[in-house]
Chains A and B, each alone.
Chain A
Amino acid sequence: MSKLHGRRSALQMYEMHYGPNMTPMVDVVMVILIFFMASAAILGPEWFLRSTLAQPKSEAAVAEGEPPLVLGLSRGASGEVLARVVRDGREIVPPTSMAELQGALAGLEKGVGVLVKPDADVPYDAVVRAHEACARVGLTRVGVSTGE
């Protein structure tokens, strides 16, 4: 047996009898697997909503040329958040609760720019929910007022 193989290394003997060495590939795959599992646990399930920043001189920049819908958010008498939609100073959606906002926006034409304009005391959560309502009815160009 030893004469047949001559002086060979252990690796050569292994390859001769058992084919390619799978160990490095298994090592790498295991590391990648653990890395993605760990990063998924750290990052958590998150969504990213893109929001245009309104420019100071013309908040109509969100709609580039056409007058945008202004989605105003304010506190009602009992503290709940109310949304109303205005175009060119004309109210097209009367004050509506956040729960009913998606239904109220459903009748608007798609592709028009929307500027979310919250009052200072409105919770940030309501701003995100307004974005979400717009996205769900197909209004994809949504901006947020920077207050100037």
Chain B
Amino acid sequence: MGKINVTPLIDVVMCLIVFYLIVAKLASDRQAEVVLPSSRVGEEVIEAATLVVNVAQAADGTGAARIIAEGRELSSEELVVLLQSRREAGRLSGVQLRADRALPFASVQPVLRAAREAGLGSVTLVTSRQDGSDAGGAP
């Protein structure tokens, strides 16, 4: 009697906390400025426990590539260690490769090699959806 009901306040605050936690995770995965290649085919759903690896152009315009995963820049050797440790811990089932469309293949190859060295049999190439796309035609 006469007390303030704090239940709606807790509801709203909890929703905001969960929302910001998820957005922060997504934002760290997509921190790098990457212009994805476009495609008309692909899958919409991917498995859980994938690590997002961004390969972006260096900001200095030299054409060099930066490998970014879990919100920090890594060398290809560090990426192998990260992938192996997550795989041994059972927290890695795949890699999502978000590479800039203008980069030469030689810049992307170290990520593919790292995934293979970590024991993965495949990677998922992330593309932007083009108009007139078909679902389910992915390799």
Which residues of chain A have a CB within 8 Å of any CB of chain B? 27, 31, 35, 38-39, 42-56, 73, 118-129, 131-132, 134-136, 139-144, 146-148
Contacts and interface: CB of A to CB of B under 8 A. Distances in A.
Contact of A53 (B26, B105, B121, B128): B121
B115 to A, nearest CB: 6
B72 interface: no
B101 interface: yes
B124 interface: yes
Nearest to A143: B122
Label chain B's interface by main secondary structure.
mixed
Contacts of B100: 124
A114 to B, nearest CB: 8
Contacts of A128: 37, 39, 101, 125, 127
24 contacts: A31-B15, A35-B19, A38-B19, A38-B23, A42-B27, A46-B42, A46-B126, A47-B44, A47-B129, A47-B138, A48-B46, A48-B126, A49-B43, A51-B124, A128-B101, A129-B39, A135-B41, A135-B138, A136-B137, A140-B139, A146-B112, A147-B109, A147-B113, A148-B113
A140 B137 CA distance: 8
Shortest beta-carbon contacts, A-B, top 8: A47-B42, A142-B139, A120-B106, A125-B101, A45-B129, A128-B37, A125-B37, A49-B125
A35 B18 CA distance: 10
B129 A46 contact: yes
B82 interface: no
Interface of B: 11, 15, 19, 22-23, 26-27, 30, 36-37, 39-46, 55, 96, 99-109, 112-113, 115-116, 120-129, 133-134, 137-139
B82 to A, nearest CB: 17
Contacts of A123: 101-105
Contacts of B23: 38, 42
A118 B105 contact: yes
